[in-house]
Every structure is written in C-alpha cells, then in structure tokens.
C-alpha cells in the first residue's frame, strides 16, 4: 500500500508515524511545501521573546531523523500542485529544481493546515507587518527585531497568538499595544472572566484598544495606523486576527468544503472522495458540546485526527468524537484556561444553562505561595451536565482545567465534581479542591439551598426599600470599595443584628468572593428570610464593572 501525506507538522506527521507503527511494509511519502516537516508551532512566540533561545529546539523532527526512525520518505520543499482523484495521482513540484512529476497513491491524507488571515486593509503589505505561522515567519520577525531594533509594536488581534505575541514582544523590551475588534481578549472567555486578564495585561504594561479595528496603514519609515477610533504609530505590527483553512488544493480536486472553506470529513476523517482523508486545521469538526459544525484549529485535535486517519487506512475502527476546545495560555505569570463552551455559545445555540463562580486558592492557604484562581463553570439546566469551564489564575490552573475537561469528555454532571477524589498535600492543593468546591456551589444552586444573582444584575436592583441589600464584609473591606445602596453588617455579627433586617423582604447579599455571603444566606434562611447570593462576590463585580466603566479604555494611547 502506498500512502501520500500532503503537509506535515501535527496532523500529517502524526498520521505518518502511526501508519508506520501499524504497517512496516507500507510505502509512505510526506510532501511538505516548506523546509520543516515537524516543528513546534506553539513555541514560536517564545523564540521571539527569548524564552526559547535555540532555533533548533523548535524543530521536533528533521527529514533525516524521521526517515531514520520511521523509514518514511520525507520530501521538503515539495509542493503538491494538483490532485487527480480519478487516477489516484498527485502532481508535485520540486521547489528547488522547478521540476514537476506525478506520484500515484492508494490512500491520500491532506494536512495542509490553516493560514493567517490578512485583511484587505490599505497598506497591509508593508515589510514592517508580520504574521506568525511557521519557522520562516518567526525568523523574519526575529531578524527584523535584531536588525531594526523597533521600540513600539502593535498586535492586531487578541486571541491566543496575539496575546502570546504581546507578552513576548513586551518581554523583549518593546512598547506593546493590542488592538482587538471584540469587547475582550481571548474569545473563548466570557467578558467577566476576561476582565481579570485585561487588568493584568495593563498592569504589565500592555496597552489595550478594545472594540476597535484597523482601517488603514501608512508606512512612512514608521507605521501610521488609522483605527476605527483614533490613530496610533508603531515600528512593527503583528497581524493575529485569526486563521482560515488552506484548502485551495482540496477545492480544486472537487472535495466538499463548507462556506468557510474547511474540508468536510466524517468521523473517520474521510472526505467526500474515496481514498482521500483530511486532518488538522483545514477540516470542519463537530463541537463536542453543541454537536454543531465548527472550526477549532488546535494542535491536540490535529494529532488525534492524524492517528484516526492512519487507523482507518490500516483497518482499525476509529472515530473522532468532536472538539471541545480545551486550551491553556500563559500570560507573563498568569495562566488562562478554557474548555467546552462559554455563555455566548450557549445562548447562540439555545442551550438552557446555569452558571456559578468560585474564587479558590491554588493550594492550602497556610502553605506559602498560594494564589487564588477565578473559576467559572456552566452546566445544562435539565441534565446538569457540565458544558463549559473557564479559569484565570496562576499556579494550578492547568491541572484543574484538565480535570474539568476530562469530566466534560466523559459526560459528567456538574454535581459529580463533588465526589472526585483528587490528590492533596498542602503544597499542591486543599482537602476540598477548587474543582470539588465548584461542584459544591453548583450542587447548592441546583438543590435551591442558595439562590444567585450576578454582577450584571446589581445595577438593576431597586434601591427603594422594597428589597434589602446587604454587604457582609468587614468594615476595612468596605472602606476600600463598596457597592452603592448596600448596608454593611459583617458576617460574624449578623445574628446579633437580625432586627436591622426587615422581615418579609428579599435579601440580596454579597461578600468578597461569595463564600461568606453564602453562609449569611444560610443563616438568614434559617430565620425564614428569602436570600440571594452575589455569585463571584464583590471581587468579580468590581473587576468587571471597572473594565466596563473606564471611559477611554477602548482607545488608551490613541492619537486623536
């Protein structure tokens, strides 16, 4: 059997290695247009920022090492320019010699990946504007920085790559601004969780221009950038507004694509034409939660899809069951992680959901170095199935998200989190792990032991005396910041001040994180009051409202 794989990196290289492990006698050819067969895409920003110092560290496999270990014919600088399904042939151009030849296949795997989007903006082709997809792109940025010594950089796009590039350019000593068309960075986060990220980025010197976009670029020795709101100047720009499937070859040979250009495949990674499979960032996937078609370009799913295609070719039943979007991001010392869907996606797809927040330490508070992490979980109301989670914090974020991602993959209810037996020792966690705590809070909501209200409800609450607004923090906390209209009665003196709380009226309570106010709700419920607890507490409310209310926040640093 002869298998040709077009494209290496995650999907193609994984498929090739799996094929060889399953079939020692198969003839396997990888055609790679670029110079590198397998490299660390996700490590590219860190080479630019200087965290990764050796260029060679980015190269996971060379054509020589791949051939030596797997006996696979790796042809770099070899571009597939035509696929002929009728004859099971691929036309190949040797980019070094210019010669063109034809290869026959029994099975074909497409792994062309996705290419960075470059919007049709006047001036977009300046030599001071870069995208980041591969090692040559990375070297171009690195060489420009070493030769020109730019001082000011603009990153257009606040997604994973954009934020990582902003961090690494800032680490390299540049003045950095992120311009983002949406209301917040990191699209899989909801705004309330992104608010912590916004504050942290600005505290670390990265300027943010949200709800703003680039309309024109002029290169007069420096970049003069016209925005929807204002103007800025820069010495260099990184375009990181997203990627699109690189599917031109697939379209030309008659494969079915969706409106976005992603290749349509079934669960076995088969395309619409016999003997052709497709994997990785160029294919449409099924969202694991919503069961809707989706485009979620991530390295983990690409590797799994390559393995599945190889299994199918070798007669092993194997299916791809969908992408849930599990991802983690480092921003200086902060860690941001997501899995499943957010509120926007739940609303868009009509899922009836509920949510809650907790604010828990990464490990036992009495052991030095504990940092709090903000955790948000979403679940389907009818089934209580966990459908999404977001965490913003420092140490320990990734391991909690891995637990939550696993729970979602295996169909757990949010209440199942209460029974998870997770590792505990003071340097690593707490006896009641934050994942357990998220389950406990959700369980209390579902069992109606506590009723919630949210940061977005606060300003709509009447201040006419028809309800009671209660702040159970300490006087010192209240002095540092408070919500107008809330009366302060500290939790530990609540029982002795019950006569100050009008009976028969709903009581809306908040504390710093939601824990003390929950206790207050239970106390008052025991005396017959109807109580509502502010989910996420004052900490979340203050952060979100502060980010929404900074008057010039969306254009900080603009030259009007």
Neighbouring-strand partners of residue 372: 361
- Among 42, 521, 555, 558, the active-site one is 42
Q: In this structure, are residues 288 and 408 in contact, taking their beta carbons and an 8 Å threshold?
A: yes
Kindly give, in sequence order, each residue whose CB lies less than 8 Å from that of residue 551, ignoring residues fewer than 6 positions away.
Answer: none
In Å, how far are 45, 47, 241 from 167, measured between CA atoms? 9, 12, 16
Cα end-to-end span (Å), the chain: 65
Q: In this structure, are residues 150 and 169 in contact, taking their beta carbons and an 8 Å threshold?
A: no
Gap between the Cα atoms of 134 and 155, Å rounded: 17
Q: In this structure, are residues 155 and 240 in contact, taking their beta carbons and an 8 Å threshold?
A: yes
Q: In this structure, are residues 140 and 47 in contact, taking their beta carbons and an 8 Å threshold?
A: no
CA proximity to 483, closest of 540, 435, 557, 432 = 540
93 — phi, psi (to 5°)?
Answer: -115, 125
Distance of CA 48 to the CA centre of its chain: 21
CA proximity to 211, closest of 179, 181, 188 = 181
Q: In this structure, are residues 154 and 179 in contact, taking their beta carbons and an 8 Å threshold?
A: yes
Residue tagged 């770099």 (tokens): 76
Gap between the Cα atoms of 189 and 159, Å rounded: 10
In the annotation, is 253 catalytic? no
Q: In this structure, are residues 30 and 19 in contact, taking their beta carbons and an 8 Å threshold?
A: no
Residue tagged 């679940």 (tokens): 379
Neighbouring-strand partners of residue 154: 177, 237
145 — phi, psi (to 5°)?
Answer: -65, -40
Gap between the Cα atoms of 80 and 337, Å rounded: 37
CB-based burial of residue 529 (10 Å sphere; 0-12 exposed, 13-18 middle, 19+ buried)? buried
Gap between the Cα atoms of 489 and 495, Å rounded: 10
> Both tokens of residue 377?
């979980």
Compute the 3-state secondary structure of the chain and give helix, strand, coil in percent, each to the nearest 5.
35, 30, 40
Element (H or E) spanning 302, and its range? helix 299-313
548 — phi, psi (to 5°)?
Answer: -75, -25
Q: Helical H runs in 314-370? A: 343-348
Gap between the Cα atoms of 6 and 31, Å rounded: 5
Q: Active-site residue numbers?
A: 42
């Amino acid at each position: 059997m002869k298998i040709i794989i077009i494209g290496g990196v995650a999907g193609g290289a994984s498929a090739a290695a799996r094929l060889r492990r399953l079939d020692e006698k198969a003839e396997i050819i990888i055609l790679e247009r670029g110079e590198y067969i397998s490299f660390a895409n996700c490590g590219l920003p860190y080479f630019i920022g200087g965290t990764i110092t050796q260029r060679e560290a980015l190269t996971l496999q060379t054509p020589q090492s791949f051939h030596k270990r797997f006996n696979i014919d790796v042809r770099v600088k070899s571009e597939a320019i035509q696929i002929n399904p009728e004859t099971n042939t691929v036309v190949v151009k040797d980019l070094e010699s210019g010669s063109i030849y034809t290869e026959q296949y029994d099975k074909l795997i497409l792994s062309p990946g996705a290419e960075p989007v470059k919007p049709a903006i006047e001036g977009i082709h300046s030599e001071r504007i870069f995208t980041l997809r591969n090692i040559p792109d990375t070297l171009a940025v690195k060489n420009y920085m070493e030769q020109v010594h730019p001082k000011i950089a603009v990153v257009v796009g606040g997604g994973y790559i954009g934020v990582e590039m902003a961090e690494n350019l800032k680490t390299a000593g540049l003045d950095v601004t992120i311009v983002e068309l949406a209301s917040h960075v990191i699209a899989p986060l909801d705004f309330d969780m992104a608010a912590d990220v916004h504050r942290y980025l600005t505290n670390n010197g990265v300027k943010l221009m949200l709800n703003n976009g680039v309309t024109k670029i002029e290169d007069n020795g420096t970049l003069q950038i016209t925005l929807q709101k204002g103007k800025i100047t820069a010495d260099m720009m990184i375009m990181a507004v997203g990627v699109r499937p690189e599917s031109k070859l697939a379209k030309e040979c008659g494969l079915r694509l969706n409106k976005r250009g992603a290749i349509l495949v079934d669960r076995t990674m088969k395309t619409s034409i016999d003997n052709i499979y497709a994997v990785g960032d160029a294919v449409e996937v099924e969202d694991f939660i919503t069961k809707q078609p989706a485009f979620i370009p991530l390295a983990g799913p690409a590797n799994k899809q390559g393995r599945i295609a190889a299994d199918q070719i070798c007669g092993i039943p194997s299916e791809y069951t969908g992408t849930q979007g599990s991802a983690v991001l480092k921003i200086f010392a902060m860690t941001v992680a997501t899995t499943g869907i957010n509120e926007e996606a739940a609303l868009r797809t009509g899922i009836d959901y509920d949510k809650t927040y907790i604010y828990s330490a990464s490990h036992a508070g009495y052991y030095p170095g504990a940092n709090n992490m903000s955790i948000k979980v979403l679940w389907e109301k009818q089934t209580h199935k966990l459908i999404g989670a977001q965490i913003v914090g420092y140490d320990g974020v990734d391991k909690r998200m891995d637990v939550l991602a696993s729970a979602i993959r295996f169909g757990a209810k949010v209440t199942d989190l209460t029974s998870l037996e997770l590792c505990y020792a003071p340097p690593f966690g707490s006896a009641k792990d934050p994942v357990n705590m998220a389950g406990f809070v959700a369980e209390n909501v579902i069992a109606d032991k506590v009723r919630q209200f949210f940061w977005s409800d606060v300003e709509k609450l009447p201040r006419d005396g028809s309800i009671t607004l209660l702040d159970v923090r300490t006087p010192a906390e209240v002095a540092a910041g408070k919500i107008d209209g809330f009366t302060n009665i500290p939790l530990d003196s609540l029982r002795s001040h019950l006569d100050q709380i009008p009976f028969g009226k709903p009581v809306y309570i908040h504390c710093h994180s939601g824990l003390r106010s929950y206790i207050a709700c239970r106390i008052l419920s025991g005396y017959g009051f109807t109580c509502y607890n502010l989910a996420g507490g004052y900490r979340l409310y203050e952060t979100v409202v502060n980010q929404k209310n900074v008057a010039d926040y969306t254009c900080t640093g603009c030259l009007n």
